[in-house]
Amino acid sequence: MKLFYTSKSQYARIVRVAIIELNLTDRVKLQEVTVRDRNSELLKYNPAGKVPTLATDDEFILSETRIITAYLNHLNPDIKIVADYSDAFSQQLEGITTAFIDGISTWIRERKFRTETEQSPTIIELEKSRALRILDYFEKIADQLDQTPKLAHITLASALGLEIRLPEFQWRQNYPKLAQWYDEFVQRPSLQATKLEA
Ligand SMILES: N[C@@H](CCC(=O)N[C@@H](CS)C(=O)NCC(=O)O)C(=O)O
C-alpha cells in the first residue's frame, strides 16, 4: 500500500497519525508528492489530485481522509479509531471536527493562496465565526474529551495545530480547557512524528 501525502497537509497528517496508531507503518509506504501542480506524480493515480490518497494493495485509489482512515482501520479492527453506529457521540464529534478543519482550511487558502485583492472578507468572516462557534462548543464539552487516538480527536488536534500557520487563529488564550486537552494529546509519539510545518 502507498500513501501519497505532503508534509504540509493537515488532512494527510490525520492519516499518517492513524497509520502509526494502528501499527501499520510496515504495511504502508509513504510517498511525498506535490499538489496544485500539473506535473505531479499524484495525477497518474488520482485525477482529484488531492492528498491524502491511498493506493491499496488490490489497486484501488482511495481519497478523502475519513474513507482512507476507515479502510486502514478495517486492517486492524482491534483498535477502534473510526467510530461506528455504536458510538454516536464519537460520530457527532467526527462531523463537527471535520467541519472545523474544513473551515479553517478554507480560511487559510483565502489568506495564503490569493492575493490581497482577491481575498474575500465575506468568506474569511464566515469561516472565522464558524471556527469560533466550534471552539466554544469544544471548550464547553472539554471534560468529555479523552486522550484516546480516535479520528475525531486526531482531526481536532490537526485543526488546532493550524495555529502555527494562521496568525489570526490564536485560540489558546480564550479556550484554556481545550488547550490543556490539546497540549497533552499532542505529546503522543504519532502526533510528534507528524508535526505540521508553518
Ligand atoms: N476533503 C478532503 C480534503 C483534502 C485536501 O483538501 N487536501 C489538500 C491539501 S491539505 C489538497 O490536496 N489540495 C490540493 C488541491 O486543492 O488541488 C479530505 O478529507 O481528505
> Can you give the CATH number for the domain in which 101 is found?
1.20.1050.10
Inside any domain, residue 81: no
Percent of all residues in the chain with a pLDDT value above 70, rounded to a whole number: 100
Judgement on whether residues 92 and 34 belong to the same structural domain of the protein: no
Q: Which residue has the cell 472565522?
A: 128
Inside any domain, residue 197: no
pLDDT of the residue at 197:
83
Burial 68-98 (b: 16+ CB within 10 A, else e): bbbbbbeebeeebbbbeeeeeebbebbebbb
Ligand 1 nearest-atom number relative to CA 10: 10
Inside any domain, residue 83: no
pLDDT of the residue at 198:
82
Judgement on whether residues 95 and 182 belong to the same structural domain of the protein: yes
Cis geometry, peptide bond prior to residue 52 (ω within 30 degrees of 0): yes
Residue 25 scores a pLDDT above 90: yes
Q: Atom 9 of ligand 1 has which residue's CA nearest to it?
A: 9
Distance (Å, rounded) from C-alpha 44 to C-alpha 6? 16
Inside any domain, residue 183: yes
Domain boundary residue, one of 25, 41, 75: 75
Look up the pTM and report it.
Answer: 0.98
Judgement on whether residues 107 and 128 belong to the same structural domain of the protein: yes
pLDDT of the residue at 122:
98
Tell me the CA–centroid distance for residue 182 and ligand 1, in Å.
23
Tell me the CA–centroid distance for residue 15 and ligand 1, in Å.
12
Residue 32 scores a pLDDT above 90: yes
Judgement on whether residues 139 and 92 belong to the same structural domain of the protein: yes
Inside any domain, residue 124: yes
Judgement on whether residues 66 and 97 belong to the same structural domain of the protein: no
Domain boundary residue, one of 25, 45, 75: 75
Residues 83-126 have pLDDT tens digits of 999 999 999 999 999 999 999 999 999 999 999 999 999 999 99
User: 155: pLDDT confidence band, cut at 50, 70 and 90?
Assistant: very high
Q: Number of folded domains in the chain?
A: 2
pLDDT of the residue at 157:
98
Work out the average pLDDT over 172-188.
Answer: 98
Range of the domain at 38: 2-75
Residues 52-69 have pLDDT tens digits of 999 999 999 999 999 999
pLDDT of the residue at 118:
97
Domain boundary residue, one of 44, 75, 106: 75
